[in-house]
Amino acid sequence: MAGVAAIVGGGVIGGGWAARFLLNGWDVRVFDPDPEAERKIGEVLANARRSLPGLSDAPLPPEGRLSFHGRLDEAVGGAVWVQESVPERLELKRKVYGEIQAACDPGAVIGSSTSGFRPSQLQQGAARPGQIVVTHPFNPVYLLPLVELVTTEANDPEVISRAKTALEAMGMFPLHLRREIEAHVADRFLEAVWREALWLVKDGIATTEEVDEAIRMGFGIRWAQMGLFETYRVAGGEAGMRHFMAQFGPALQWPWTRLMDVPEFTDDLVDMIAEQSDAQSGAYSIRELERIRDDNLVGMMRALKANDWGAGAVLNAQDARLKAGTDLARRIDEVEDLSRPILTFAQAVPLDWTDYNGHMTESRYLDAFARATDRFMELIGCDADYIASGGSYFTAESHIRHLDEALAGDRIAVRTQMLLGQGKKLHLFHRMCRGEDLIATGEHFLLHVSLETRRPCAPRAEIEANMARIARAQAGLGYPEGAGASIRAPK
């Protein structure tokens, strides 16, 4: 699902929403009276283009079109999704909804990024209350999957279903809360930790840096992959949650927390926290901190993908959706034109594929070409079932030429020409491009082997037939430049 999304309010959250929609193929219209809105959103987009595509092991759809509008009605007219991210003032939000509903399609979803207001408060006085839902995301919106979808009885099930479908199609995890409460669910946890942290700093127990270290060196890592209750279930040992509750339940009566008491928000407290925060991380600009944060988030979430766990499971489900809509064929009959080099790999360069020079590291070029070879093997019939039956191809020799750089977030594609496919021999030439620019080639010579004897042998007849079919189709391509070359020093 993709269409036109209108972003009303282009701050940190609105800019994150713009990036999430835009990089998932939506056309995005932004309305924000701030004269700096275009610059600010441009900077958010630069970070998103660098990090978001690297979460996927499948190509994202082509990026949508971004436009900025001086009038709200121009932005929301014809949009199928309107995301409101204006400041947290209830009367302002209600006024904005009146203007939106006067100009938008009655069937459009209007989502609010509010972190505190209940949807019934937002719907009060609206011309079409059932059109408004809470869709509260988490920063950075373009990376973190969670969005709290909060609805009321005024919302038609069809509206809720469309909202869920759109959010999931963008790789997000809509947590549907059918019973509303101020600050929803996740922000109530954050508020509790924030209150306790303020007391610890105010009372001189810990500095802002020590509070952060306590979180990121310990329970924060556990929470990222198991949450709260599952973490404590494991802490209960073999007896599980009942043992944990019995062991630590009495502690709830002890004075371990000051959650019900709020420190006075004085200038002295603000100065103390601001000064400690500056000392902690003031050496970095906000944009540098955002990139550090994004690098770490992508790395952690890609690790979770390997175990299909937590946020990683959401990303794997998104990859499956993306792959279903790509031009990457898995059988020879799915290839539209065998007479041209065949698309065998397409993906954005993940952050963890880059090295100390800031570009894709050498091993990842080989990885990408190896994946392209695997896809070509699938096309000719050497798939998982064939390999399980005892036949496969082993690489005997490889040669990679690095012609240009590939940076984090760059969308790369590999197309493969078969130079020889006869008997036990398979000779492939891969071209890696970024758009129309050739950035690398990979030449690979493989031998078909018996996995039982580990010796070369002829493949089955259907593989030979498929290779012959490709050979006939690609006969007019000619020998590619760079094929068969040895390493030589440049002039």
Annotated binding residues: 9-14
Copy the structure tokens of residue 106. Answer: 């009655």
Sign, CA dihedral 117-123-124-130, equals negative
Which of these, 427, 407, 411, lies nearest to 419 by C-alpha position? 427
Q: How many angstroms separate the CA atoms of 65 and 411, rounded? A: 17
At 326, is the secondary structure helix, strand, or coil? coil
How many Å apart are CA 406 and CA 416, to the nearest integer? Answer: 19
CA distance linking residue 49 with residue 60, whole number of Å: 11
Query: Rounded to an integer, what distance in angstroms lies between the CA atom of residue 250 and that of residue 289?
Result: 41
65: its two tokens: 């079109």
Report the alpha-carbon distance of residue 104 to residue 126 in Å, rounded. 13
Distance CA 66, CA 52 (A): 17
User: Residue 215 gets which letter from DSSP?
Assistant: I
Among 26, 54, 67, smallest CA distance to 347 is for 54
Please give the Cα distance from 155 to 181 (Å, whole number).
16
Contacts with 345 (C-beta within 8 Å, 6 or more apart), sequence order: 328, 368, 369, 371, 372, 375, 412, 413, 414
CA distance readout (Å), 116 to 130, 180, 190, 196, 370 = 19, 10, 12, 19, 49
Annotated binding residues for NAD(+), as ranges? 9-14
Q: What's the token pair of residue 221?
A: 């890592």
Q: What is the DSSP-derived secondary structure letter of residue 344?
A: E
Strands 173-177 and 146-150: parallel
The DSSP code sequence of 170-198 is TT-EEEEESS--TTTTHHHHHHHHHHHHH
